[in-house]
Amino acid sequence: MDLIVIGINHKTAPVEIREKLSFPPKEIIEANRLLKESVFLKESLILSTCNRVEIYALCDRGKDYLSGIKSFLSRYHGLSLSEYEERMYVREGRDAVEHLFSVAAGLDSMVIGEMEISGQVKKAYQDARQGLSTGKVLNRLFEKALNTAKKIRTKTFIGQGAVSVSSVAVRLAEKILGRLDDKTVLIIGTGAVGEQLLLYLRKNDVKSILVTNRTLEKAQGLADTARATAVAFENFLDRLVDVDIVIASAGAPHHIIHKNDIASLMPRRKQQPLFIIDLAVPRDVDAGVNTVDNAYLYDIDDLKRIVDENMSLRKNELGDCSRIIGNAADIFMGWMAKENPAPSYRRRTAEEGVKGEM
């Protein structure tokens, strides 16, 4: 059996491409089933986040499954292979194992050491198990990945001073507007990112926070946790008249803020600047908004400049993290060799070294 991962991430593809290949959460279990059946994989798992789309697969040795996986992605998303193929990477065997361990530990994230990715990996694993697309090997692999991520977080300082996408978004808002305590902020979306945004905004003494979601009850529930104000989804565009910053993380399958929405709004705002930070993939906000006078749109790729300023401390920890990942990969590959004896799964010698993707 061969273990492979194929995917794109924030290093290889801009958000304009990543969003086209992303899988909506509501579709992920069925997508896992279709992938496994249509490509004839032994086991499979789709990991789809704002910064990556990856497919992990166990397949028969000696057959070309990569072409089948690419064809599945093209059919599922209605894309031409030429639109994304050159952006993809492939890892096999031990390299695939070490790649996943790095991903789960936040070492391959835009924000190195961030904690959100571990939860996303866990959710992807739970969804795949629920849909019966994983089996003995991928179950063992992902459980080992999550355990390794926990060990890295407790045995190193990789998380010290680490920031999440949510905190970076708030820092970006501070860079744009300076003090935030006298600003009005609208959060679109009540998922994990929305919850963290609310927390960070309160830590920055933002007193006027609005929360909206397609389900008003969810917006009210989140708002109640931090003395914010819930807004009915159908009314949030009207509330933008008095808002300084919009932070969107709804992850809708289509745009929820369009260029014409903002263009018609600006006269009512007396052309006061409106700053919009779109954290969603696919994007919640039409890129054309940036062409509207006094409207300033930032997407998740724009956060990288802020992230780069926070790298030095965590980079010093990568050596220790690499050793933990190497040891964990040794253990998994040893188990894999016993389960599926084959030369390609032999344990590498010390002379070959530990090759980690950092």
Asked if 15 contacts 302 with a C-beta cutoff of 8 angstroms, the reply is no
H or E stretch covering 271: none
* Rounded Cα–Cα distance for residues 156 and 144 (Å): 18
Tracing tokens 């086991």 back to the chain, one arrives at 43
The string of DSSP letters for 80-111 reads -GGGTGGG-EEEETHHHHHHHHHHHTTTTSSS
* Rounded Cα–Cα distance for residues 188 and 185 (Å): 10
**What does residue 185 show for φ and ψ, rounded to 5 degrees?**
-120, 135
User: In what side-by-side order are the strands of the sheet with 274-278?
Assistant: 229-232, 208-213, 184-188, 245-248, 274-278, 295-299
3-class SS of residue 137: helix
* Catalytic status, residue 50: yes
Q: Compute how many other C-beta atoms are within 10 angstroms of the C-beta atom of residue 25.
A: 13
- The single residue of 13, 31, 39, 50 carrying the catalytic annotation is 50
For the annotated catalytic residues, the residue numbers are 50
